[in-house]
Amino acid sequence: MSEPIDVAVFDIIETVFSLEPVRRAITTCGLDGRDLETWFAFGLRDAFALDVTHRAKPFPDILADALDELLAVRRVGANQAERDAVLGAFAQMPAQTGAGECFDMLRDSGIRIVALSNGPAERTRSLLESADLDTHVSDILSVEAVGRFKPHESVYRLAFEATGAAPAAHCMIACHAWDLNGAKRAGMQTAFVQRGQHYPSVMEPSDMAGDELVDVARLIVERQG
């Protein structure tokens, strides 16, 4: 028997909000839409490399540099306005399918909802407000508070400090295995939002997996008993 879940901790970028506007934006400066994954992986790779060397920088700055790297790799020129438009698209991410229903189900079951992002807290707040999801969320937490990135343990501890609940009473919900691997190592339960993706065997396995946010919400509510 696993412990009941009192707190659902959501990854924000890609898990709750869709990167599709960013994909469209990169095509306007001559990149291929498929390079969204390349760019985001460049950015995360560099964020984690900086974390390992205790030299955290704001994630938007890292992504701006990663965009310049991608443009150089693809030998695509882009002016400042085009680059700004691409970076600005992160502010226009819509909620993923079923996000509202997922949050409603958890709230109705008395589960506290926390947002825990590698992005800035203000950006997360603004995205949640645009999607009318802000009233569901008790705490909006950002890596900015500790100067490390997920998957470093100190980031997950922000959630434990905010809620006062035991680590194992928290469930981290993400569509990124590296995030769930870190959460698991920090003592949390974990739920993978699959969306047809592969979960790497080198990472700590997730406790639950569902196709979409609503499937994961259902599993969490069931586990609550």
Which parts of this chain interact with its own copies (CB under 8 A)? 32, 34-35, 37-38, 41-42, 44-46, 48-55, 57, 61-62, 65-66, 68-69, 71-75, 149, 151-153, 177-178, 181-182, 185, 196-198, 200-204
Interatomic CA distance for residues 46 and 44, integer angstroms: 5
| Closest distance of CB 87 from its own copies, Å | 14
Between 7 and 47, CB nearer to its own copies = 47
> Structure tokens of 114?
């926390």
Pull the structure tokens for residue 2.
Answer: 């696993």
Contacts of 34-40 with C-beta under 8 Å, sequence gap 24+, read: 35/70, 35/74, 38/70, 39/63, 39/66, 39/67, 39/70, 40/14
Residue 53 DSSP SS3: coil
Quote the least distance from Cβ 217 to its own copies, whole Å: 23
> In whole angstroms, how close is the CB of 55 to its own copies at the nearest point?
7
Q: Is 66 or 214 the residue whose CB approaches its own copies more closely?
A: 66
Instruction: Considering the complex, state which of residue 72 and residue 91 has its C-beta at the smaller distance from its own copies.
Output: 72
Minimum Å distance from CB 106 to its own copies? 26
Q: Residue 70: which H helix or E strand, with range?
A: helix 59-73
The edge-to-edge listing of strands for the beta sheet with 7-10 is: 137-142, 112-117, 7-10, 170-174, 189-193, 208-210
Of 26 and 128, which CB lies nearer to its own copies in the complex structure?
A: 26
